[in-house]
Amino acid sequence: MKSFRKELWFSVPTRRAYINITPQVEECLRESGIREGIVLCNAMHITASVFINDDEAGLHHDYDVWLEKLAPHEPVTQYHHNVGEDNADAHMKRQIMGREVVVAVTDGKLDFGTWEQIFYGEFDGCRKKRVLVKIIGE
């Protein structure tokens, strides 16, 4: 069995963003040489997510509005976590959007369902953060 590990780095210039990272994950898969197996892809920070859904700008806007309703950033004083920081909302947004995805690898390709793409969800940006890609198989 082969194993491949790579960290993808992101520095998002805004507080929140939704980035399609499917091309980077596909590049990892090509580098790995693995044809049959599993890809795990996870955010390495507790204020960011990796999730799978549609690459559609309207949907990403809708996610952003929905997440802001569930866990508004302001007023930052509403959260007990925000003592010396202001990112309690980002922890909650990450919780609901998830930590990681797992995708099957079949015949050297990500074995997606219809319209599925992998996204990095940033909820506390303006600094360097990482996503782990781990691929196992043969």
Does residue 87 bind Zn ion (CB under 5 A)?
yes
Size, binding site for Zn ion by CB under 5 A: 2
CA dist 64 and 62 (Å) reads 5
Does residue 42 bind Zn ion (CB under 5 A)?
no
CA dist 76 and 83 (Å) reads 9
Looking at residue 13, the DSSP 8-state letter turns out to be S
Q: Residue 121's closest CA among 51, 22, 23, 37?
A: 51
Please choose, out of 12-20, 35-43, 80-88, 114-122, the segment that lies near Zn ion by the rule CB under 5 A.
Answer: 80-88
Nearest approach in angstroms of CB 2 to Zn ion is 37
Nearest approach in angstroms of CB 85 to Zn ion is 5
Q: Which is nearer to Zn ion, 10 or 123 (CB)?
A: 123
Q: Is 98 left (phi over 0), alpha (psi -120 to 50) or beta?
A: left
Nearest approach in angstroms of CB 109 to Zn ion is 37
**Residues near Zn ion, by CB under 5 A:** 85, 87
